[in-house]
Structure 1
Amino acid sequence: MRRADRLFLIIHALRGRRTALPARDVAATLGVSLRTIYRDVADLQRSGVPIEGEAGVGYVLRKGSDIPPLMFTAEELEALVAGTRFVQAFAGQRLSRSADAALLKIQAVLPEALRERSERSRVFAPDFGQHASLKAHFDSVHAAIVAQQVLAICYADESGQVSRREVEPLALSFWGGAWTFGGWCRLRQGFRSFRLDRISDCQVPGETFADTPERGFKAYWKAIGAD
């Protein structure tokens, strides 16, 4: 049995229960070891699935957390699957794990026919390791954008000229062949875009910045003609 199917069945077994379900019962039903069930439940909990309980006692979904089947069309589900596969291939590890966890939660409450249809999607975004440089520093830049932290980067321009910059990062963009992040460059005193694969060093000194009308996200968006 595939792990995705096993995780779905664990959640399905817990839905609607008023009493804790012993892990040994789940293990016997699925034909796996207790250790596997403990590990699977821990992974589901880390993904945000509201499972309460512990080994040796049993598990139950938190009261009031059960949700009805989501009303997606087959095409909408395939779009979600394709988007998740794209993120897994081209984005950073944190966003990839989050996309995978989100899809897991959606599939856990879908009718069986729609769940099976979503898993049969033939839209792929192969990685095979060739996108490593493309998405280098993605997690660091993404985290800095969310936390509004200044980045100190070592950056090479098109001619190979290297310079050190302090940048207030505002947004990540994917252009098909490269990721860039845009922000306020303190060296140039203006908005600039930086390709992630041209950054040789990326540090977060710990300084935060404010999203101001003059050099915040809306001003950057307008400056690049995307207003």
Structure 2
Amino acid sequence: MSKLKSTERRMKLILMLQQSKERLTAQELADRFGVTKRTIYRDLNTLSELNVPVTHDPFKGYGVISGYNIPPLMFTTRELATIMVGLNFVKSQVDRNLVNDAKGVEIKVKELLPDKLRAFMNSLHNKTIVDPFLNFGHEKKEGGNWYLISSAIAEQQTIQFTYKSLKKNQTTRRKVDPYLLVFYKDHWNMIGFSHIRGETRNFILDQITDLSVTDQIFETPDDFNAEALIFNSSNLGEKVVLHIDKSIDRAFKANIPTKIIKYEAVSSKIIKVELRFDNLDFLNQWLLQFSDKVVVQSPNSLIQKRRDLIDRVSKSIEPF
């Protein structure tokens, strides 16, 4: 048998001991896997630590208790670390249902782990923090839309809901074939085909109410492309041109809540950035963190919004 990674070899070792009608000696196992007896002893000890009921007869060899099934969860510490980061991210969301589901998953995973790995997971739980400010800055609220929409996407079912457009200050009833759920730093969006508009549209989950999943099944387009849907949606908004100081280059690119279309140096200190954004009020607020390190070139509407915001900020610090 060709060389296997230790985890894969141990899984095959369990299967081999289960399927064998007779016990197998350490030498027989070593010969079958092409490793030393010392490696087999180490593997058997590891399996015992993972609560696999390995049995041993000094005259006949090794086996496992009859009727034993492979545990559904056998993780490495690296895999557990990845799981904990993912669960902590979900628990940082403002949707109470998502948070509770993540806690439920964490409890179930811990229940199926051996003591050593459970202790490792508990240590990670207490020492791995995803954005600590989210715990203080957002009140947990009832949700459910995320789960219903994700299920509808998986089952390719059309959904109906009431949508409140804050930009247009109007509420409409929508019928949509949901394609994608996308997380943008502080909120979830759904991208799908709107039956009313006759085109792909972008919807903010916080603005969706009275959601229901219909029995109508839709077909995903043959040319389905997630990246194209995210960055080429018909309502991505106006083109924005900015000049940013090179000193904020890294922070700007790491946190900009949209895709950068063009990024080029215009001098030794200034970079020209082109992007599209559908909510100029939000972008205007977001840009404020970079103070005078960002200069808006266009559109004129954003330039004016920036002037108005700076004016309001300056007035807010004047003494009463």
Class of the TM-score when normalised by the shorter of the 2 chains: 0.5 to 0.7
Task: Give the distance between the partners of 2:109 and 2:67, measured in 1 at CA.
Answer: 15
Task: Give the distance between the partners of 2:204 and 2:119, measured in 1 at CA.
Answer: 39
Give the aligned partner of residue 11 of structure 2: none
Superposition deviation, residue 154 in structure 1: 0.8
Aligned partner letter, 1:123:
T
Aligned residues of 1:136 and 1:197 also touching (Cα < 8 A): no
Give the aligned partner of residue 221 of structure 1: 227
Give the aligned partner of residue 142 of structure 1: 150
Q: Match of 1:65, SS?
A: coil
Aligned partner letter, 2:118:
R
Q: Deviations over 1:118-176 (max 9, x none)?
A: 2122223565771426x451121111111111011111112321111110001111112
Query: How many matched pairs?
Result: 167
Match of 1:115 among 114, 118, 128: 118
Q: Deviations over 1:9-35 (max 9, x none)?
A: xxx9975289xxxxxxxxxxxxxxxxx
Larger RCO (alpha carbons 8 Å, 6+ apart):
1
Question: Against the structure 1 CA distance between its residues 95 and 131, is the aligned structure 2 distance closer, same or farther, given a 3 Å change threshold?
Answer: closer
Bigger radius of gyration, 1 or 2?
Answer: 2
Task: Give the distance between the partners of 1:83 and 1:101, measured in 2 at CA.
Answer: 11
Task: Give the distance between the partners of 1:224 and 1:176, measured in 2 at CA.
Answer: 14
Give the aligned partner of residue 21 of structure 1: none
Q: Match of 2:88, SS?
A: helix
Match of 2:82 among 72, 79, 82: 79
Aligned residues of 1:14 and 1:61 also touching (Cα < 8 A): no
Structure 1: 5+ residue stretches without partners: 1-11, 19-59
Q: Match of 2:216, SS?
A: coil
Superposition deviation, residue 102 in structure 1: 6.6
Give the aligned partner of residue 162 of structure 1: 171
Match of 2:188 among 169, 176, 179: 179
1:93 aligns with 2:102: no
Give the aligned partner of residue 159 of structure 2: 151
Structure 2: 5+ residue stretches without partners: 1-48, 56-64, 233-320
Q: Deviations over 1:100-122 (max 9, x none)?
A: 4377437734561x432321222
Question: Against the structure 1 CA distance between its residues 202 and 61, is the aligned structure 2 distance closer, same or farther, given a 3 Å change threshold?
Answer: farther
TM-score (norm 2): 0.43
State the Cα RMSD in Å. 3.7
Question: Against the structure 1 CA distance between its residues 178 and 83, is the aligned structure 2 distance closer, same or farther, given a 3 Å change threshold?
Answer: same
Per residue, is there more strand in 1 or in 2? 2
Q: Match of 1:183, SS?
A: strand
Give the aligned partner of residue 16 of structure 1: 53
Q: Percent identity?
A: 19
